[in-house]
Amino acid sequence: MDKIAVKDLFGKSDIEYIDSYVFSKENPWDLLGGIKEYVKTLCARGIDGFTIIDENVLVGKNVTIAKTATIIGPTIIGNNVEIRPGAYIRGSVIVGDDSVVGNSSELKNAILMRHAQVPHYNYVGDSIIGNFAHMGAGSILSNLKSDGKNVVIHGEIDHETGIRKIGGFLGDHADIGCGSVLNPGTVIGQNTQVYPLSMLRGVFKANKIVKSQNEIVDRK
């Protein structure tokens, strides 16, 4: 069976409020429906050392937010995060410590764990980005099928999610090449590298180099 359980994709971030939520489910797609209420609860309760800068927007220490960035709650921005010009955070988002949300990148109903990078013209909707994962410039996590039907994650077996909007799940240290499009429900395993300009669908195992949908080699 495909290794797409939460524990197979992500290691602990050592950020308590992220780990306690991410590791509360077995399947990563089961986390998506609860992000909004979880973040609202944290914003109402507060996190030690964090500051409310707008309604349901809670921000940690040493955070840089460009004047032209837009942040809509409920959103939590962790410590040492950089939010660059033109970034658009649409709510129901957690950005973990040391992460980068780049120029003209858009986030919606998503979790970025520690040191995740979406630095240039990226779309991240209904997705989870693992620790130290990186999206190259212009890479997209598409989250809605053209027929509007529920997303099925296709691997060695098909996983019926029962969810209409799912983007991607990028394991720790995954690296997505520039200009790539990951179709709804695509899963990239830990330490797997995707070539630029790829169009992918399905489950890609850990420690691979993905040259195309059907050309995959071990990463040494």
Q: Which residues are catalytic?
A: 120
Q: Amino acid identity of 160?
A: E
Q: Which two tokens stand for residue 35?
A: 């992000």
Any idea how long the chain is? 220
Q: Which phi and psi angles does 131 have, rounded to 5°?
A: -60, 130
DSSP string computed for 4-60: -SHHHH----S-HHHHHHHTT-SSGGGGGGGHHHHHHHHHHH--TT-EEEETTEEE-
Tally Cβ neighbours within 10 Å of residue 143.
25
